[in-house]
Amino acid sequence: MKIALVNPFWTYEDSIYFGCRQPHLPLELGYSKALLEADGHQVLMLDGQIQKLDNAALADRVAAFAPAMTVVSTAPTYLFWRCAPPELRVPADFLNRLAGRGGHTVAVGPHGSATPAPTLRKLGVDVVVRGECEEVVAELARRDDWSDVPRTARFYEGT
C-alpha cells in the first residue's frame, strides 16, 4: 500500500500558541514510517517546515504519489504534544488543499487524543488516532475494515 505521512507547514500568524515555533523532526511520523516500511508499504514522508513546502505544495506532492492513506499530524512534533497549538487551522488547511486526493485520511496527535469528536468534525478525516500513533497507523495499513481498530475514533453512519 502507498501511504503518505505529512507534517504540515506550520505557521503561527494570528495564533495564540506560545510554544517553540522552530522546526523539529516529526518523530511520530518517522517511527510510523519505519514500521510501515517493515511491513512492506511504500511510504512518502513530508515535512512542510523542514522541507520548506507550503500546504499547497505538500498537497500536490501527496496527490502525485496517489496514496491509499494519508496521515497528518495535528502538532508539529511529539515534543509538543503536551503543549500543542490549540487550533487545528494548519492541518485543516493542508487537508482542504488535498481535497480528497490522498485516499483515506487519518489524523494523529494530541487533539484527536483529547477531543476526538471535535477533531473529526473540524478536520473531516476518516479516523483519528487516540494516543501514540505508530503501531495504530501500521495496524490501519494492514486492514481494509477500520471499524474495530483499537485506539481510534471515527464517526459511524448517522452520528
Q: Taking the CA atoms of the chain, what radius of gyration do you get in angstroms?
A: 14
- Residue 37: half-sphere exposure toward Cβ, Cα within 13 Å: 11
Determine the pLDDT at residue 143.
96
- On the 0-12 / 13-18 / 19+ scale of CB atoms within 10 A, 12 is middle
Ranges of residues in the chain with a pLDDT under 50 are none
Tell me the whole-structure pTM to 2 decimals.
0.90
**pLDDT value of position 9:** 93
Q: Could you tell me the domains of the chain?
A: 2-153 (3.40.50.280)
Tell me what pLDDT residue 45 has: 97
Q: How far apart are CA 70 and CA 17, in angstroms?
A: 26
